């Protein structure tokens, strides 16, 4: 078993890259990151006559993610921890699922349906801050496009007092019929309306304007004309002084793990040009319409816009 003591991170990456080409998992020994807390990565820590370069658990977790691995602790003592980097099954991803008459790519039996973004702090914390930023407690009509099983509404429920929550009108739209049926059972109250519908044909629903529009990871779907749909939402479905929250995925879901970095076609690594291009388009358009726009988040970029019209 390999033991890392004073090897540089460059040397460690080179070693792991070579080993993971041939193996599905690697065990190696490192200095226990809990041995000292007031120390920076790269500083030397000595145990008796042996010197180690210190690195935190976060450093090792980041490294595992870069190599598309789960990081597991195999064993632990006061001074040394044995880490296991286990390759993710890169075929176990909803991105690879089919979507046809027999299979709903985002339906109740899908891989996507197993994902609970609300249990991922990298998503939840930024989404909560976006809701607070738009003063969610003042909203009366909320429209969510690509609602799936209604996880975003669950967060709103947690944030608000029960009396305020039940006086808000919620509308959720998704193309997946089984996901919508699940959402209906989850929120059976009269102030919720769910529709199985194609977002390209919103006009058929005769929706009234909302004072908050939410869409997480939906508008960039290949089946939608992103720019035209976004402008249509702002012009025809958002109240004059309403707010909008858009979540742009900057991650992939592989074998149960949320892996940082948007994947663009024809690239073997994360390439984020399209992501930032879309975010900037929305930001510029909303600023022209007299909205204050903020962009936050990491694995999901949250564009939050609030009206500054007098």
CATH number at residue 232: 3.40.50.150
Alpha helices by DSSP H, listed for 52-176, are 57-66, 121-133, 151-159, 162-166
Distance in angstroms (rounded) separating the CA atoms of residues 84 and 145: 40
Q: Are 195 and 166 members of one domain?
A: yes
Question: Which pair of structure tokens corresponds to residue 285?
Answer: 């358009």
Residue 103: predicted pLDDT: 64
Cβ atoms 305, 292 nearer than 8 A: yes
The residue among 38, 55, 87 that closes a domain is 87
Confidence of residue 111 (pLDDT cuts 50, 70, 90): confident
The residue among 87, 114, 134 that closes a domain is 87
Residue 94: predicted pLDDT: 78
To the nearest whole percent, how much of the chain has pLDDT over 70? 97
Whether 92 maps to a domain, the answer reads: no
Do strands 291-297 and 25-31 pair parallel, antiparallel, or not at all (unpaired)?
Answer: unpaired
Q: Are 150 and 39 members of one domain?
A: no
Q: Are 137 and 181 members of one domain?
A: yes
Q: Are 62 and 142 members of one domain?
A: no
Residue 237: predicted pLDDT: 97
Domain that holds residue 129: 104-307
Q: Which of 24-33, 106-115, 157-166, 183-192 has the lowest mean pLDDT?
A: 106-115
Whether 24 maps to a domain, the answer reads: yes
- Asked whether residue 272 carries a pLDDT value surpassing 60, the answer given is yes
Q: Which residue has the tokens 């870069």?
A: 66
- Asked whether residue 101 carries a pLDDT value surpassing 60, the answer given is no
* Number of domains comprising the chain: 2
Question: Which pair of structure tokens corresponds to residue 182?
Answer: 């699940």
- Please, what is the average pLDDT of the chain? 93
Residue 259: predicted pLDDT: 93
Distance of CA 148 to the CA centre of its chain: 14
Which burial class, exposed, middle or buried, applies to 153 when counting CB atoms under 10 A from its CB (0-12, 13-18, 19+)?
A: buried
Q: Are 79 and 111 members of one domain?
A: no
The residue among 55, 87, 119 that closes a domain is 87
Q: Are 149 and 239 members of one domain?
A: yes
Cβ atoms 274, 264 nearer than 8 A: yes
Q: What is the mean pLDDT of residues 172-178?
A: 95
Whole-structure pTM value: 0.92
What is the number of helices (H) and of strands (E) in the chain?
8, 15
> Closest by alpha carbon to 92, among 217, 249, 256?
256
Whether 98 maps to a domain, the answer reads: no
Question: Which residues does 268 contact at the CB level (< 8 Å), separation at least 6?
Answer: none
- Asked whether residue 102 carries a pLDDT value surpassing 60, the answer given is no
Question: Which pair of structure tokens corresponds to residue 306?
Answer: 């609030």
Q: Are 77 and 114 members of one domain?
A: no
Whether 99 maps to a domain, the answer reads: no
Confidence of residue 92 (pLDDT cuts 50, 70, 90): confident
Whether 77 maps to a domain, the answer reads: yes
Q: Are 112 and 150 members of one domain?
A: yes
Q: Are 238 and 130 members of one domain?
A: yes
Whether 278 maps to a domain, the answer reads: yes
Whether 22 maps to a domain, the answer reads: yes
Q: What is the mean pLDDT of residues 71-96?
A: 90
Question: Which pair of structure tokens corresponds to residue 308?
Answer: 């500054």
Q: Are 123 and 265 members of one domain?
A: yes
Q: Are 147 and 52 members of one domain?
A: no
Question: Which residues does 110 contact at the CB level (< 8 Å), separation at least 6?
Answer: 94, 97, 103, 104
Residue 262: predicted pLDDT: 85
């Amino acid at each position: 078993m390999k033991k890392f003591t004073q090897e540089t991170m460059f040397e460690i990456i080179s070693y792991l890259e070579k080993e993971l080409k041939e193996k599905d998992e690697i065990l190696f020994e490192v200095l226990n990151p809990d041995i000292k807390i007031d120390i920076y990565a790269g500083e030397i820590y000595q145990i008796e006559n042996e010197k180690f370069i210190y690195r935190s658990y976060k450093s090792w977790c980041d490294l595992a993610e870069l190599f598309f691995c789960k990081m597991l602790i195999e064993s632990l003592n006061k001074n040394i921890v044995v880490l296991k980097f286990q390759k993710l099954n890169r075929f176990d991803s909803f991105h690879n699922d089919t979507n046809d008459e027999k299979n709903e790519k985002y339906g109740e039996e899908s891989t996507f349906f197993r994902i609970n973004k609300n249990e991922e702090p990298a998503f939840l914390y930024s989404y909560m801050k976006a809701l607070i930023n738009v003063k969610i407690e003042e909203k009366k009509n909320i429209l969510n496009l690509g609602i799936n099983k209604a996880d975003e509404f669950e967060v709103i429920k947690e944030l608000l007092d029960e009396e305020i929550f039940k006086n808000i009108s919620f509308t959720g739209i998704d193309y997946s019929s089984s996901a919508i049926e699940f959402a209906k059972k989850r929120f059976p109250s009269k102030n919720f309306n769910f529709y199985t519908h194609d977002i390209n044909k919103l006009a058929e629903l005769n929706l009234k304007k909302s004072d908050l529009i939410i869409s997480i990871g939906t508008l960039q779907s290949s089946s939608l004309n992103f720019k035209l749909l976004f402008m249509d939402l702002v012009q025809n479905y958002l109240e004059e002084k309403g707010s909008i929250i858009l979540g742009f995925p900057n991650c992939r879901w592989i074998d149960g793990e949320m892996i940082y970095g948007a994947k663009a076609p024809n690239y073997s690594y994360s390439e984020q040009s399209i992501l930032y291009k879309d975010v900037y388009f929305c930001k510029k358009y909303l600023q022209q319409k007299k909205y204050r726009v903020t962009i936050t988040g990491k694995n999901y970029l949250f564009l939050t816009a609030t009206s500054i019209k007098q």
